[in-house]
Every structure is written in structure tokens, then in C-alpha cells.
Amino acid sequence: MKREPANTREERFPRGLVIRLTVYLLVGHLLAAFLYLLFEAGGGK
């Protein structure tokens, strides 16, 4: 009986989807930080 909530929870958030979203968020933030550093280093007013 205790396994049922875990099964519905896994169906709501599949493990592959969670991993993919985490990777996309991480890569997106790293790309944004890299672009920010490029503009900070290159754009001098």
C-alpha cells in the first residue's frame, strides 16, 4: 500500500524528464554566465 504514492509520483514526474530539465537549466545558466562575462570583459565604456 505504501508503494502506490511513489508510483503516482513517478508517473507525474518521470525520472528522464527531471534529469533533462536539470541539465537544461544548468546549461542555460552556464551559457548566460559565459555571455555575461564576455560582455563584461569586452564592453568597456
Position 20 in a domain: yes
Three cell numbers, residue 39: 560582455
CA gap 34, 13 in Å, rounded:
30
Position 35 in a domain: yes
Q: How many domains does the chain have?
A: 1
Please tell me the predicted confidence (pLDDT) of residue 43. 81
- State which residues form the domain around 34: 16-45
CA gap 40, 12 in Å, rounded:
41
* Cβ atoms < 10 Å from Cβ of 3: 7
Position 21 in a domain: yes
Position 44 in a domain: yes
pLDDT tens series, the chain, 45 aa = 655 555 555 568 899 999 999 999 999 999 999 999 999 999 866
Please tell me the predicted confidence (pLDDT) of residue 4. 56
- SS3 labels along the chain: CCHHHHHHHHHHCCHHHHHHHHHHHHHHHHHHHHHHHHHHHHCCC
